Amino acid sequence: MVADRGLNQVLEFVQAFTDAEATAARAAMAEPDDDRYLALRAAADAFLGPRLDPVIDRFAVPGGHADRVRPAAAGDIHQRALFALAAGVSGGRDMWKAYVSGLRDPDGRRIDHALSIADVDGRLLIVGQEAVNPFADTLQWEPAGGMPLRFDEPPHEVRIERLPLDEAHARFLQDLTAG
């Protein structure tokens, strides 16, 4: 059950993923060597379950070379800020959600995604994600790939790592801890 995996282990998993994801995204824009890019992409993909793709990607083939790279654009890519982790149950299975910023939000202004994390065959994987609708007046979640999981009941454990600068997004996380 949830006690088998604590939030510290999930925290380490999310931090490793966001680091690998940002590295692969920067390489998609700036690394001309396809083999090097594909290795970085594979490292990031190892955290993702089926039907999930990287946010920033490019065409690459083993032994290939990208003619057009944009190192200046790669400088806009940053590791996602981790705002909070929540632990609960979905469909009778333990699951976690990580609330993170976008890759182009170095200051951590807003929650961009909620990553659904589950134990799949003994290892943690991101199995789905939901994105915040940037055009809605209130915080609205929309499926954004994979199989986003919903808690059956309010999460039984929530850890806030830091609050987003946007007041409505910060309030969402504070309300989440209130249960």
Q: How far apart are CA 30 and CA 68, in angstroms?
A: 9
Question: What was the pLDDT predicted at 111?
Answer: 96
Q: What angle do CA 11, 101, 131 make, to 5 degrees?
A: 105
Domain's final residue, options 58, 74, 90: 74
The answer, yes or no, to whether residue 3 has pLDDT greater than 60, is no
Let me know whether 83 and 56 are in one domain: no
Could you give the number of structural domains in the chain?
Answer: 2
Last residue of a domain, one of 74, 95, 120: 74
**Of 88, 91, 33, 24, the residue nearest 62 (C-alpha):** 33
Domain containing 34 equals 16-74
Is there a domain that residue 103 lies in? yes
Q: What is the pLDDT of residues 22-74, one digit of tens each?
A: 999 999 999 999 999 999 999 999 999 988 888 788 889 899 998 888 888 88
- Claim to verify: residue 172 and residue 89 sit in the same structural domain: yes
- Residues 46 and 122 placed together within one structural domain of the fold: no
Same domain, 36 and 85: no
Q: Quick one: 35 and 52 in the same domain?
A: yes
DSSP state of 157: E
Cα distances (angstroms) measured from residue 73 to each of 5, 6, 26, 58, 76: 38, 37, 8, 14, 6
66 or 83, higher pLDDT: 83
User: pTM of the predicted model, to two decimals?
Assistant: 0.92
Closest to 32 (Cα-Cα) out of 64, 73, 72: 64
Domain co-membership, 120 together with 171 = yes
Averaged pLDDT of the chain: 91
- Which letter, b or e, does each residue of 166-179 get, where b requires 16 or more Cβ atoms within 10 Å of its Cβ? beebbebbeebeee
pLDDT at 69: 86
Residue 4 lies in a domain: no
Place of tokens 């504070």: 174
DSSP states along 6-67: -HHHHHHHHHHHHHHHHHHHHHHHH--BHHHHHHHHHHHHTTB-TT---SS-----TT-B-S
Tokens 């590791």 identify what position?
79
The CB density around residue 142, as the number of other CB atoms within 10 Å, is 10
Domain identity same for 53 and 124: no
Residue 34 domain-assigned? yes
Q: Is residue 10 part of a domain?
A: no
